[in-house]
Amino acid sequence: MIAMPTDQRGMAFLDEVIEEVPGGERLLHCLQCGSCSGSCPNGPDMDYTPRSIFALIAAGQREKVLSSNTMWCCVSCYACTTRCPQNIPITDVMYALKRISLREGMATGTDAPALAKTFTGLLERYGRSFELGLASRYYLFNKPLSMLKMGPLGFSMFTRGRMSLTPTRIRQLDQLHAIIEKARQLGGAT
C-alpha cells in the first residue's frame, strides 16, 4: 500500500481541501474528463491545468499543488464550474487552494497575494476600496517600475475623474472592525 502524504494534522490532503470548500465532497467524483482545463482561459499559463491539479490533489501531492501558480492564475470566471459534468465547485476549490497556500507560506513567485493583501488592507482601513487606486498603491509599494509604466494610463484616468487618491470612508468603521475581529476569532485566518 502506498502511504498517503499528510499535513501536520495527519489528514490526507484531499480531505484537507474538501474540508475547506463548501460542497467540497464533490471532488471525490472527478472523472478527469478535462472539461475544466479546456474551458479555462488561463490554462496555458498554469503550472498544472485544473484537471491535473485535481489528479495531484487526489494523489496527495500537497507541496506540488500548494506551491504551484495554478490557483493564482484563476480569475474566478466560473467557466469550468458551469461546465463540470460532476458539479464540482472548481472555482471555490481554487479559492481554497489560495487560502491554504497563503496560510502555509507556500505562495511564491506570484504577485497575486500582495495584491490581495493591499486590497483587503484598504477595505479594513476605509471600509471601501477602488480599482485603480488599488493598482497605484500596489505598484507604488511593490513594483515602482511598473508604476512608471502605468503613468499615462493613471494620468488619463485621473483627468477624467475616474481615479481618486483615497477611497471614501464609511461612517461606522468601528462596527465593521468589530465584525471582522469577531469573524477572525471564530476561525478565520489572519
Partner 1 sequence: MKYAYYPGCSLETSGAAYDVSTRAVANLLNLHLVELDDWNCCGATEFFSQDELTASAVVARNLALVGPDFDQLVAPCTACYLNLKKTDHLMRGDKKMSDKINEALAAGGLNHQAGRVQVRHLLDVIHADVGEAAIRDKVVRPLNGLKVACYYGCQMVRPFNDVDDSEQPTKLDDVLAWLEAEPTHFSAKAYCCGGHMTQISEPQAFELIRRILQNAADGGADMIACLCPMCQLNLDAYQSRVNRHFHADFRMPVVYFTQLMGLAFGVERKKLGFGKEIVAAGPVLERKLRTLQQVG
Q: Which does 50 bind (CB under 5 to 8 A by kind): ligand SF4, partner 1, none?
A: ligand SF4
Does 75 bind ligand SF4 (CB under 6 A)? Our answer is: yes
77-116 positions binding ligand SF4, by CB under 6 A: 77-80, 84-86, 88, 90-91, 94
Nearest distance from C-beta of residue 131 to ligand SF4, angstroms: 19
Interhelix angle for 112-126 vs 90-103, to 10°? 90
| Residue 13, all three cell numbers | 490532503
Q: What share of the chain is helix, strand, coil (3-state, %, to 5)?
A: 60, 0, 40
Q: How far apart are CA 57 and CA 59, in angstroms?
A: 5
Q: How far apart are CA 44 and CA 50, in angstroms?
A: 11
Query: Partners of 12 in the beta sheet?
Result: 6
Q: Which does 133 bind (CB under 5 to 8 A by kind): partner 1, ligand SF4, none?
A: partner 1
- Which residues of the shown chain bind partner 1 in the complex (CB under 8 A)? 20, 22, 41-42, 45, 72-73, 75-79, 81-82, 89, 91, 95-96, 98-99, 102, 110-113, 115-117, 119-120, 122-123, 126-135, 138, 153, 156-157, 160-164, 167-168, 170-172, 175-176, 178-184, 186-190
